[in-house]
Amino acid sequence: QSALTQPASVSGSPGQSITISCTGTSSDIGGYNYVSWYQHHPGKAPKLMIYEVSNRPSGFSHRFSGSKSGNTASLTISGLQAEDEADYYCSSYTSSSTLWVFGGGTKLTVL
């Protein structure tokens, strides 16, 4: 069982917006602004898409945004496109000796 909790799957139609949640504790998401999100197309290298809760690496689409409230972080994808269909993982620093924890991943299906 992963340290951070994500829905196993979400879906949306092209053009719509979806939000993926990532729930942790006060020892990780709630206590630090070190939440990051990764996009993973199977067979390819995962890509960093959001870091430090809401920052986007240069070159990553503005359609992707991140936020946090309490112990839950969220990734919102607006204007869904077919190429957004992928697995999405959240991650956070943790004050436990594990140092770094991940969510179980969410499979996004674009209908």
Partner 1 sequence: QLHLQESGSGLVKPSQTLSLTCAVSGASISSGGYSWSWIRQPPGKGLEWIGYIYHSGSTYSNPSLRSRVTISVDRSKNQFSLKLTSVTAADTAVYYCARSELGRYLLEFWGQGTLVTVSS
**How many residues contact partner 1, by CB under 8 A?**
27
User: Is 10 one of the binding residues for partner 1 (CB under 8 A)?
Assistant: no
Report CA-CA distances (Å) from 11 to 8, 45, 76, 108.
11, 22, 12, 5
Cβ atoms 72, 22 nearer than 8 A: yes
Q: Pick the binder of partner 1 from 29, 91, 108, 110 (CB under 8 A).
A: 91
Q: Pick the binder of partner 1 from 13, 58, 62, 99 (CB under 8 A).
A: 99
Q: Pick the binder of partner 1 from 36, 65, 71, 74 (CB under 8 A).
A: 36
CB nearer to partner 1: give 13 or 97: 97
* Residue 82 to residue 20: CA distance in whole angstroms: 17
Cβ atoms 106, 85 nearer than 8 A: no
Q: Which stretch binds partner 1 (CB under 8 A): 12-20, 63-71, 77-85, 87-95?
A: 87-95
Strand 72-77 and strand 18-23: pairing? antiparallel
List the x/- string, 51-80, binding to partner 1 by CB under 8 A.
xx----x-----------------------
DSSP state of 23: E
Q: Pick the binder of partner 1 from 9, 17, 47, 81 (CB under 8 A).
A: 47
Cβ atoms 92, 37 nearer than 8 A: no
